């Protein structure tokens, strides 16, 4: 174990699947797994305060290295005493590496062995990030868990391109690991390989040799069909150690979470629940609700009578409909609180189901009961 103050504790595996119950000790702070992490891209989960995050029982959040690098910048975060003090949040924080922007800003960047040249999405200025830069920025941010710098490979890509990309990602992982100095920050390696079984196996095995604190599964949910997505997991998970956390990056659809948990994944993040909330789509135990619809204009019932969040305990569908139609910020806050609490509560229920060896039954019941579509929401 590279960092003795960061560890994963295995508790139980469901008898009918590979779904596993565990705890991550993040420098004295316990994160129960499987876990969903709300995304606070720029040191804030959109429209939510740190107190809101705690009230929905989120145990860890994610922030974005690329965006924090641009604004407010590493110098400001160092002067603030790190991201925890800067945003007044004392729970665990994970930062991605900036590697996703290699994918999402594909029309604005150039990749070479040294690193990636970006065109800033803010002003078009030229920026450069190396694996070492990514680590140094994350150390300046002061997150509890940092990610290795990698290329999130676009789908589809040829075998030849993916092989070269995986080899480079492995070299970048080693360079980042060598540059990493903080003993109060864990570092994860990221497995790439697109849809190619041998490349996924190769990447995973080589990263495991480097002995990271945890391992992420990257390059999924980037345009591939569901069958291919789940094969990517099948091609990766058997080669990751059982005594370290497994994190599938950028996953928030209900069906994808269930499929990944069934295969032994521990950690997830996605902007999905807050993004669809801001567009009026709400996840409930009665199914998906589009709060924009006129039928809710005079519906004075709670959004979800089975939900314990601030939104459902105190406000009606009619009020949410009004807030949305008048473009009031409170509506974004309340609906984001609800969608995040819905997903976090679902993770709590998943953990109970694993402990009671009924994960598959719970998975099937949930998907049938809630009526989620093929997208998973």
Catalytic residues: 96, 269
Residue with tokens 């941010």: 141
Which tokens in the block code for residue 153? 């490979």
List the beta strands (DSSP E) in 73-180: 93-95, 109-112, 115-119, 126-129, 145-147
DSSP-derived 3-state class of residue 291: coil
Residues forming beta bridges with residue 186, ordered by sequence position: 145
Structural contact between residues 157 and 194, judged by C-beta atoms closer than 8 angstroms: yes
User: Of 242, 243, 235, whose CA–CA distance to 219 is shortest?
Assistant: 235
∠ CA 329-331-337, rounded to 5°: 110
The helix (H) or strand (E) run that includes residue 85 is helix 83-87
Return all residues near 346 (Cβ < 8 A) that are at least 6 apart. 36, 254, 257, 366
Which tokens in the block code for residue 227? 């069958």
Which tokens in the block code for residue 32? 């129960």
Q: What is the number of residues in the chain?
A: 377
Which tokens in the block code for residue 133? 């830069």
Exposed, middle or buried: residue 70 (CB in 10 Å: 0-12, 13-18, 19+)? middle
What is the rounded distance in angstroms from the CA atom of residue 51 to the CA atom of residue 291? 25
* Residue 349 CB coordination number (10 Å): 12
Structural contact between residues 262 and 18, judged by C-beta atoms closer than 8 angstroms: yes
Residues forming beta bridges with residue 95, ordered by sequence position: 63
């Amino acid at each position: 174990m590279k960092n003795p103050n960061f560890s994963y504790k295995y508790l139980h595996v469901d008898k009918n699947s590979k779904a596993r119950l565990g705890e991550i000790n993040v420098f004295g702070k316990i994160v129960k797994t499987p876990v969903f992490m709300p995304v606070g891209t720029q040191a804030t989960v959109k429209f939510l305060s740190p107190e809101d995050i705690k009230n929905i029982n989120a145990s860890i959040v994610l922030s974005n290295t690329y965006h924090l690098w641009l604004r407010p910048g590493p110098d400001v975060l160092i002067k603030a005493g790190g991201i925890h003090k800067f945003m007044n949040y004392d729970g665990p924080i994970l930062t991605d590496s900036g590697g996703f922007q290699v994918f999402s800003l594909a029309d604005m960047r150039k990749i070479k062995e040294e690193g990636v040249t970006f065109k800033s999405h803010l002003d078009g200025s030229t920026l450069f990030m190396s694996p070492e830069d990514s680590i140094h920025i994350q150390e300046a941010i002061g997150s509890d868990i940092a990610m290795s710098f990698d290329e999130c490979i676009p789908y589809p890509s040829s075998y030849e391109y993916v092989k070269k990309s995986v080899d480079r990602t492995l070299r970048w992982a080693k360079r980042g690991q060598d540059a990493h100095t903080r003993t109060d920050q864990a570092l994860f390696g990221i497995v790439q390989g697109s849809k190619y079984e041998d490349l996924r196996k190769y990447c995973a095995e080589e990263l495991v040799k480097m002995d990271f604190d945890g391992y992420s599964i990257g390059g999924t949910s980037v345009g591939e069909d569901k069958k291919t997505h789940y094969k990517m997991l099948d091609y990766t998970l058997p080669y990751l150690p059982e005594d370290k956390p497994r994190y599938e990056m950028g996953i928030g659809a209900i069906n994808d979470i269930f499929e990944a948990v069934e295969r032994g994944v521990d950690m997830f993040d996605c902007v999905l629940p807050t993004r669809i909330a801001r567009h009026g789509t709400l996840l409930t135990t009665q199914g998906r609700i589009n709060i924009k619809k006129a039928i809710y204009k005079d519906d004075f019932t709670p959004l979800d009578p089975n939900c314990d969040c601030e939104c459902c305990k105190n406000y009606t569908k009619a009020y949410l409909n009004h807030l949305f139609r008048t473009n009031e910020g409170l509506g974004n806050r309340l609906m984001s609180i609800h969608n995040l609490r819905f997903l976090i509560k679902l993770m709590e229920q998943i953990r109970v189901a694993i402990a009671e060896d009924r994960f598959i039954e719970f998975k099937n019941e949930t998907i049938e009961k809630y009526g989620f579509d093929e997208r998973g929401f």
